[in-house]
Amino acid sequence: MSINLNRPIVPAIAIEMISGRTRLIGIPKEKIQVVITLPDINEFNKELNEAIEFFKHRADSFIITSSNKEECNEVIDKFDLNEHLISNEHRDFSKIFKMRDETRRLKKSLMIIDTNCQITHKDVL
């Protein structure tokens, strides 16, 4: 592992998933971490599902949303997703990673964290 001092190091954060399981973002792992924020979970689509499925052996994916648990469960059922994929604990996450708009709502974004816990890509969409 080598650290690039020009890239920000991710603070470790525990996120409770819809399943009730806690997952950690920002700790060294063998896979990269891909974090997608979707203010409205109903924006999740077939293409996003296919991308997550395609990269599942190389990336641990997380979807953070401000949608309620019922809406999240509907999407989980519709796309036959792992319930450990989605979390609606967006408040701390959006504050730590500066993913809130001027009205303090969650922004839509994509963030890639490498195996050294550094942000290699961050795009607010």
Encode pLDDT of 23-78 as tens digits: 999 888 899 999 999 999 999 999 999 999 999 999 999 999 999 999 999 999 99
- The CATH architecture assigned to 13-124 reads 3-Layer(aba) Sandwich (3.40)
Residue ranges per structural domain of the chain: 13-124
Distance CA 31, CA 75 (A): 25
Would the pTM of this model clear 0.95, i.e. be above it?
A: no
Contacts of residue 113, Cβ cutoff 8 Å, sequence gap at least 6 = 10, 25, 26, 32, 33, 34, 35, 119, 120
Distance CA 13, CA 113 (A): 13
